[in-house]
Structure 1
């Protein structure tokens, strides 16, 4: 068996994980490494594989330490996005290079570094004989950066079917904009994706009277969806935003008016909306803009994800106190940003997110400061002690 990194060293653990080329949906040995470290720390793990038509099979990990008492879950993912042009990286994205005070590699902040910090925090508590009484579980998927079908949703169902029940969860996504301690995510906006298609009549560009060009009509509908803000936000969430990500006609010719034109968009929406009321508003805007002159269709991708907000002082206050004790910063309670697997966990227990600084996630030269890995480990260590003390009261 390959020698494990020191169980109390987040940099060594993160470096070993970065050397696993786990570009989604490939595992690259990452889950086996996490399981081996967890088992050395007293966890018992299983790696279920989930399948679905037209999606890749995905391996996942559930590991638990302890058999009774309050149950805390740490959730995350070992899969990473593709590195892009490797030649443009300062260091090989899967070499685990340490340079200039940073650990470089794909997944350094999103989110192998967070997993490494949590494992090292448990490692230090076990080493020092300070591990609290209770249950700690790892809920780690290989399908967060992919379709997110054979990952956390099915892993949660699998665990619940085996009698697991959770009291609170922390997701180790990179939540901090500038420095460790900036922000705890206590909620997320929802996400809705859709495609607007306008149908015209194909024809020759020299004879426009014999055709019906759908492109100007699509532009009108695009403006109708985006020109007026959906809302101005509230004291809990920032404003909802709609962004078009693609306008396409699939037409390589210069002398052909296309038959169809389509626009793809995504909305990140706050709790002013539900997926149903938001879809109704979008359809109303399209109907008004189209009138009787445009043949259009809106298809909303399923499933959508709703917004959520965690209100659990026993979780939020303890984590905020741990962050402030270690970093000297009082974190902002934030609901900004995109979606994460917390949207699945929220249906089973209170959940928050706290991890590394996210400035380089998904970028060329993704990297994490070595000092940040140490800080995050100390935050998780203080949080584990504080949460179990609070939960036991």
Structure 2
């Protein structure tokens, strides 16, 4: 009998792959070998210099097809000298495994790969198990999960439900799962006025004054008070700058940027229209020309609580003794793309150290996460 696939060893092997976005680093090659050996049909879906892996056990287009989604790319190490352990060494110290991607999210990928491999070997389901693993989640994400979903659509592949294995728990494993996410919009403003001497401001048109007025208008009132499943939307000014080294010169140009995290009371289009209205008002008031460029990395979405979220919640509670809260908090994830394909929820480990120096994961939690994912698979196909 084949021994169960150890998620801890697999996590360590993945951490040792230096897969800093956009480098594949050997991580997907490693997973393809493991999954192919377990009978999964594997396809590399590379696009735009990004490596992605699609793996399916069972028939294409099965009536029930459970999917896992995750990523093997990681953010840069930062100051390597500040780490107490090798960022790509997967050292285990006092029950914690250290390494870039240990939490976000090579442990999650290892847990669902191990759960899927053991599940199809031990209790082959009436249906399909799909793994959609990308190397482009930490960057612009245009050629990662999106490329996988595009390829699936062209090739008749489908998931009837999907679980994204991102870290979701603030302090303790089991306490939170995601049933939606806020949208994210970034607006960049470029103001052009008339340069002049600071002693004679009436002879100039100060773009910085116009930008300050615009920022004050945008922050003047809350966007909303929250909705049924979402906290209030937020707007943050992230920069105002003109690069002017002189203290006695009013600059000709200035720039500012805001980031909005928005709930389901808004859309990217409605917020863009709202922003443009304020831009028009400030231009008219000041005579300074302001150009705006908007990028939307994802719309808000919600998977309404129902049978699928209840199944995941029950499995988590059975393995941890904790019934996770349904949440839509946090940043964006690739679930924002999957939601256009099928119902999607997220559940994973505690994410306190992700992207930090000395990123680490509690070894016992990796095994616990595999047990949760295994139970979800058993219950889904029961």
* TM-superposed deviation, 1:174: 0.7
Alignment of 1:98 onto 2:92: yes
Cα distance, 1:11 vs structure 2: 1.0
Residue in 1 that maps onto 2:133 = 140
CA distance in 2, matches of 1:131, 1:88: 46
User: Could you tell me which residue of structure 2 aligns to residue 219 of structure 1?
Assistant: 212
Deviates more, 1:27-36 or 1:298-307: 298-307
1:142-221 correspondence to structure 2 within 5 Å: 142-221=135-214
Alignment of 1:30-109 (within 5 A): 30-51=27-48, 57-67=49-59, 68-109=62-103
Residues 14-69 of structure 1 show CA distances to partners (whole Å, capped at 9, x for unaligned) of 01000011110011111101111111222111112212xxxxx1111101011144
Measure the CA separation in 2 of the matches of 1:80 and 1:281.
35
Whole-angstrom distance in 2 between the partners of 1:312 and 1:170: 14
Kindly provide the CA deviation profile for residues 140-190 of structure 1, in whole angstroms up to 9, marking residues without a partner as x.
Answer: 111111111111112111111111122000111111111111111001111
Following the alignment from structure 1 to structure 2, what is the Cα–Cα distance between the partners of residues 45 and 284?
A: 49
Using the alignment, how far apart are the partners of 1:209 and 1:7 within structure 2?
A: 77
> Compared with structure 1, are the counterparts of its residues 255 and 100 closer, same or farther at alpha carbon in structure 2 (3 Å cutoff)?
farther
Alpha-carbon distance, 1:125 to partner: 2.7
- Distance in 2, matches of 1:244 and 1:216, equals 15
Equivalent runs, 1:273-312 vs 2, <5 Å: 273-289=266-282, 291-311=284-304
Look up the match of 1:54: none
What is the CA–CA distance in structure 1 between the aligned matches of 2:9 and 2:133, rounded to whole Å? 19
CA distance in 2, matches of 1:93, 1:116: 18
1:263 equivalent to 2:256? Answer: yes
Greater Cα offset, 92-101 or 289-298: 289-298
Q: Unpaired runs of 5+ in structure 1?
A: 1-5, 52-56
Over aligned residue pairs, what C-alpha RMSD do you find?
Answer: 1.8
Find out whether 1:239 has 2:232 as its counterpart: yes
How does the TM-score come out when normalised to structure 1? 0.91
Whether the 8 Å contact between 2:184 and 2:296 is mirrored in structure 1 is no
Q: Is the 8 A contact 1:224 1:286 kept in 2?
A: no
Distance 1:293 1:301, change over 3 A: closer
Per-residue Cα deviation, 1:340-377 (whole angstroms, up to 9, x for no partner): 11111111100011111111111111111111111111
What CA distance in whole angstroms lies between the structure 2 residues aligned with 1:113 and 1:131? Answer: 24
**What TM-score does the superposition give when structure 2 sets the normalisation length?**
0.94
Other-structure match for 1:339: 332
User: Is this contact kept in 2: 1:10–1:116, CA < 8 A?
Assistant: yes
Most deviating of 252-261 and 192-201: 252-261
Q: Compare 315-324 and 213-222 and name the one that shifted more.
A: 213-222
Which of 329, 352, 360 is matched with 2:353 structurally? 360
Cα offset, 1:7, TM superposition: 5.4
- Asked whether the 8 Å contact 1:131–1:385 carries over to 2, the reply is no
Instruction: Return the offset for 1:304.
Output: 4.6
1:283 shift after superposition: 2.6
Structure 2: runs of 5 or more not aligned: none
Q: 1:316 aligns with which of 309, 322, 325?
A: 309
Q: 3-state DSSP class of the match of 1:63?
A: strand
